[in-house]
């Protein structure tokens, strides 16, 4: 393996470890996976669902959801700043479908 590939691979492993740590911390705090949280947060932003409605959806206290959403957004910002991509990047079609479903639910 040439040096450039080795450096890229090491950077990938560091990134994977950082993402895994965030995922594990969020799961320990909420019992939910990071995918559930990031989709819920995106849907909240797109569909106008409030923090209280989101809390009701996940049967969590609103203050806890606010704290989790803030934490997720902070981690997303840090990872984006360091690596140039967002933790919350998922397919646009999936997000549009999900946000419409959540908007209908409220």
Of the two residues 88 and 73, the one the predictor is more confident about is 73
pLDDT (mean) for 33-38: 66
Mean pLDDT value across residues 14-20: 69
CA dist., res. 101 & res. 72, Å (int): 22
pLDDT at 91: 47
Q: Is 66 exposed, middle or buried (0-12, 13-18, 19+ CB in 10 A)?
A: middle
Supply φ then ψ for residue 6, to 5 degrees. -65, -45
Sequence-distant (6+) residues with CB within 8 A of 45 are none
Question: From CA 67, how far away is CA 63, in angstroms rounded?
Answer: 6
Task: Compute the mean pLDDT over every residue in the chain, rounded to the nearest whole number.
Answer: 64
Mean pLDDT of 42-56: 67
Please give the residue range of the domain that contains residue 12: 3-105
For the chain, the domain total comes to: 1
pTM of the model: 0.34
Is the predicted pLDDT of residue 3 greater than 70, yes or no?
yes
């Amino acid at each position: 393996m040439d040096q450039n590939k080795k450096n890229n691979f090491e950077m990938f492993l560091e990134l994977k470890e950082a993402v895994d740590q965030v995922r594990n911390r969020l799961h320990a705090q909420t019992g939910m996976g990071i995918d559930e949280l990031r989709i819920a947060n995106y849907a909240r932003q797109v569909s106008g669902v409030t923090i209280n409605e989101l809390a009701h959806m996940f049967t969590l206290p609103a203050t806890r959801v606010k704290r989790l959403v803030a934490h997720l957004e902070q981690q997303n910002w840090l990872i984006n700043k360091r690596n140039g991509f967002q933790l919350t990047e998922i397919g646009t079609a999936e997000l549009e479908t999900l946000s419409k479903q959540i908007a209908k639910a409220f």
